[in-house]
Structure 1
């Protein structure tokens, strides 16, 4: 018999009824479940004296799950562990997940132990796993049937997952829009796009006491100056952003998505007929993606431009040769770094 030894411990062997080292082993098994032939590894105890394998009650239950999980995998269904992992991800109990889904109180318990779910229930569980926003809508509908503490706990977990998923989508979309620029160092400042650095540069400006009234227009200019100054001093930009020449100055490609990235401290401010985007960060902060040299460059930009008003920095930007010689809406090339005013 082909066996893989998992562990060995001294215990009472119920096979020979003597105390000795008993091995726990895995044995490859073949079985048929619901007319489907499956292969799986079953767990046994092995007695060296009798040279026999046998199971205790716990192993009988585990092997039943192993068999059914092998069937699930073959049929493209979630395994018992994957169902449990979905619950753990949302930090929700078996019974409360059933409440959200309108299922019987013990349905999830059975799916995580001995019963194989049907395809309809499997599809629903997969959708919950992949769609935190849907989970939030189900949670809202079931709010009156949950305790306040449980509702808040599930809400926090699902909201965090939703924000993470949204951030992943945003990052992929931004990175896709930058793919065509990656080979042109005059467009990207000889630097591959790093959204971690983009976020930390924004946070660094937002956290500085020497940057006043940091709204979106001013922020975009500070970011351009930081990248171009870095290129001038070191031969490569900090972030890898690509900038266009828009009416109020330099603006990075994808700027609307960039300010929606997770950890960007952006607050939407109602200005009456329109909205403004304000950036501020208080307390002690860390900027793990930025090097000391990056920070020194940002500090120079802050010293020179941090206290300028929006109009002042727009006028200052409009005097840059890089802006003057770039056709409106075209990409501002980094070749103008030598003529930077700071």
Structure 2
């Protein structure tokens, strides 16, 4: 019998009824739950005198949860600890969560102890974990089911979680804008959308001392030049971004959301009667999403247009065949990259 010793403790052994060093061990168990064969690790006490294992009530409960968690994993359901983590995310009690969801008062307590949740309830719990905005909505809709103190507490926790998840929401929103573009090679440069690469391209430009006055309009053009030069040299772009022709030149689809991603070094600056967006990265950084080849391509862009003013790069962009042959507000075809001025 293979066993893993967890710890040893001198105490009264309930197998031989003598005081000696009792081993706390773990064994791999095989079982079938709801018709599904599973394996899991169970804990027992082991007596060297009788060479027998035994357990107490606490171990029986723990082993039962371990067995059901193994089943949950096999079925793609949240485990006991993952369900508990959903509650901890919002600091909400078992009974209040049930009240909020319109479930029986002991439902969550049962899921955290001995009962396996069904798929419908599991989907709801997953949505709670992944979507604090939805949790906030539930709180407002069912405020009357909670005490005022509890309501305020949960709103605060959910708001904090929502703010922390903002980057995830932005990424999903950007990805949604690109859903129909993913298979349009002519507009994405034969590259799948990769926001990590897009962020690192921005950071790479923003870190270069050879790039002067990197404001939003100029950055948009440099993103386009980076992707188009990459396509010109190797037949696929870097970021997978698609670009639209606007009056001041090329602009990536979803650009307003892209610059709000948390890793983008963007700062708002009051300028005249409005606000300008400046991109600058002063600290030494690693650009893990970019290959050496891609950095070399970006260096060529920097060398050619990095010192241009916003007005100069806009005028330069207006001379590109890609811009001249694309109607305003239409997406720019990467086929024109072969005629790039760089």
TM-score (norm. length: structure 2): 0.68
Question: Which of 136, 157, 163 in structure 1 is aligned with 2:166?
Answer: 163
After TM superposition, list the pairs within 5 Å mapping 1:292-307 onto structure 2.
Answer: 292-307=292-307
User: Secondary structure in 2 aligned to 1:180?
Assistant: coil
CA distance change for structure 1 residues 299 and 108 in 2, over 3 Å: closer, same or farther? Answer: farther
The answer on whether the counterparts of 2:188 and 2:240 sit within 8 Å (CA) in structure 1 is: yes
User: Secondary structure in 2 aligned to 1:176?
Assistant: coil
The answer on whether the counterparts of 1:25 and 1:46 sit within 8 Å (CA) in structure 2 is: no
Q: Distance in 1 between matches of 2:122 and 2:86?
A: 12
User: Secondary structure in 2 aligned to 1:227?
Assistant: helix
Counterpart in the other structure of 1:129: 129
CA distance change for structure 1 residues 207 and 137 in 2, over 3 Å: closer, same or farther? Answer: farther
Q: Distance in 1 between matches of 2:213 and 2:223?
A: 15
CA distance change for structure 1 residues 213 and 65 in 2, over 3 Å: closer, same or farther? Answer: closer
Is 1:280 matched with 2:284?
no
Q: Distance in 2 between matches of 1:298 and 1:73?
A: 45
* Aligned residue pairs, count: 325
User: Secondary structure in 2 aligned to 1:44?
Assistant: strand
Counterpart in the other structure of 2:180: 177
User: Secondary structure in 2 aligned to 1:205?
Assistant: helix
Q: Distance in 1 between matches of 2:306 and 2:51?
A: 80
Question: Which of 149, 163, 169 in structure 2 is aligned with 1:145?
Answer: 149
Deviations 1:117-146 (A, max 9, x none): 988987764442232113345789789737
User: Secondary structure in 1 aligned to 2:282?
Assistant: coil
Q: Which moved further from structure 2: 320-329 or 17-26?
A: 17-26
Q: Which blocks of at least 5 consecutive residues in structure 2 are unaligned?
A: none
After TM superposition, list the pairs within 5 Å mapping 1:8-23 onto structure 2.
Answer: 13-16=13-16, 17=18, 19=20, 22=23, 23=25
Counterpart in the other structure of 1:25: 27
Q: Distance in 2 between matches of 1:236 and 1:70?
A: 44
The answer on whether the counterparts of 1:206 and 1:279 sit within 8 Å (CA) in structure 2 is: no
Is 1:331 matched with 2:329?
no
Q: Which moved further from structure 2: 113-122 or 190-199?
A: 113-122
The answer on whether the counterparts of 2:206 and 2:214 sit within 8 Å (CA) in structure 1 is: no
Counterpart in the other structure of 1:212: 213
CA distance change for structure 1 residues 225 and 165 in 2, over 3 Å: closer, same or farther? Answer: closer
For residue 212 of structure 1, report the CA deviation from its aligned partner: 1.4
The answer on whether the counterparts of 2:132 and 2:161 sit within 8 Å (CA) in structure 1 is: no
RMSD across aligned C-alpha pairs, in angstroms? Answer: 4.8
User: Secondary structure in 1 aligned to 2:44?
Assistant: strand
Counterpart in the other structure of 1:322: 322
Q: Distance in 2 between matches of 1:176 and 1:341?
A: 30
For residue 255 of structure 1, report the CA deviation from its aligned partner: 3.8
